[in-house]
Amino acid sequence: MQSNWNPEELKIRHMVLADVDDVMKVERRSFTAPWSRQAFVTELADNQFARYLVLEYSGRVIGYGGVWLIIDEGHVTNVAVDPDFRGKQLGEQMMRALMSLCTLQGARKMTLEVRVTNVVAQRLYEKLGFETVGVRKGYYTDNQEDAYIMWVDLPELNQEAFAE
């Protein structure tokens, strides 16, 4: 836990290839079945539907999140915050940033899967308006744990607000 926390030093920005090594540090500390480095490189370089953001604090990547934007839906691929920085509502900030990104890109809904045992994440998603709509049996490959499927309707953009 960081004792000299200064929220003014936090920023959220688009992930670039140069971030992947730092993202991998967060990934490995956050998940029992982490994505590979190549998976992130492929997402950034080759997946036209992928959008990834990083949380940066004092020049250090401390979290990230990603979505696939397909037609009018955003599918959250992953969200992680370095364990040393948890408890500061950074996961919520990242999710809100992803929701805003999806809305600005024309998405009307967002979906995600979450482990049935990850109650902390479920509560966050519910706070943001997500509702559980189903279960994917054996979804997680590391232990065949089930996943809840959650959805949220995104607000419509007021296009007049962007008119001159």
Positions annotated as catalytic residues are 113, 125
Check: CB of residue 26 under 8 Å from CB of residue 80. yes
Separation between Cα atoms, residue 104 and residue 102, nearest integer Å: 5
138: left (phi over 0), alpha (psi -120 to 50) or beta: left
* CA pseudo-torsion sign 38, 28, 135, 87: negative
In the structure encoding, which two tokens stand for residue 28, read together?
């490995």
Residue 101 neighbours by CB under 8 Å, 6+ apart: 51, 53, 67, 74
**What's phi and psi for 160, nearest 5 deg?**
-65, -25
By CB atoms closer than 10 A (0-12, 13-18, 19+), residue 19 is buried
